[in-house]
Structure 1
Amino acid sequence: MFTREFVSILKCAGVESIRLPARSPNLNAFAERFVRTIKAECLDHLILVGERSLRRAVEEFCSHYHDERNHQGLENKLIEASFVPGGAGELNCRERLGGLLRYYHREAA
């Protein structure tokens, strides 16, 4: 059982918790994988000093996860690509959370 505050943070990130039958730990593998990913790639590397810093870290990670991170299950493509691939423009780097999360991209020519 999660605390009310933790559930509200997950809802802000677009993750909804659902009740599962007893002794069924592997029924929600997608949610388990997301929680494992956010812990390993983000939260384990930060010192959080309160709820506000946790919320900001989760929001930044979710933006990175949906807009900038390649996913193996999608043949290393982005979930929500906001650009046209290809081109020979200048290589740029977008950083989040003080450089913890980085995304390299080329501007359109």
Structure 2
Amino acid sequence: MFDEVFAAVGVTVMKTPPRTPRANCYAERWIRTVRAEYIDHYNGHRPHQSRGQRPPDQDRHVVVAMEGRIERHEILGGAINEYRRAA
């Protein structure tokens, strides 16, 4: 079904042979990068209710500054945005 969607917009679908990790190295690298960015966002920035709206990797005793300009940082090519105080 996905092949039909790609074919409709003129994209040629190439299937990788089984048990050939080097044949799909670009996709594997991209997937690894996406996973790493998501894990960093989930554990280092995203608030969790069970931790009082703090991320899992943040120390409870860290005081976050409430003054200053807020900057937006795109994660996963803009699919997720993080907001931080400017230094």
Q: Tell me the TM-score normalized by structure 1.
A: 0.47
Aligned partner (choices 54, 61, 77) of residue 31 of structure 2: 54
For the residue of structure 1 that corresponds to 2:37, the secondary structure is helix
Provide structure 1 residue ranges, at least 5 long, that are not aligned to the other structure.
1-48
Question: How far does the alpha carbon of each residue in 1:15-71 deviate from its partner, in whole angstroms, 9 at most, with x for none?
Answer: xxxxxxxxxxxxxxxxxxxxxxxxxxxxxxxxxx72111111100101111111111
Q: CA RMSD in A?
A: 2.1
Identity percentage of aligned residues:
30
Give a deviation string over 1:82-108, Cα, whole Å, max 9, x none.
Answer: 863132100111111111121112135
Give the Cα–Cα distance (whole angstroms) in 2 for the partners of residues 84 and 67 of structure 1: 15
- Answer with 1 or 2: which has the greater Rg: 2
Tell me the number of residue pairs that the alignment of Structure 1 and Structure 2 aligns. Answer: 60
Aligned with 1:95: secondary structure? strand
Amino acid at match of 1:78: P
Residue 91 of structure 1 pairs with residue 31 of structure 2: no
Q: Could you state the TM-score of these two structures normalised by the residue count of structure 2?
A: 0.57
Q: Separation in 2 of the partners of 1:78 and 1:57?
A: 19
Structure 1 segments, 4+ long, off by >6 Å, are none
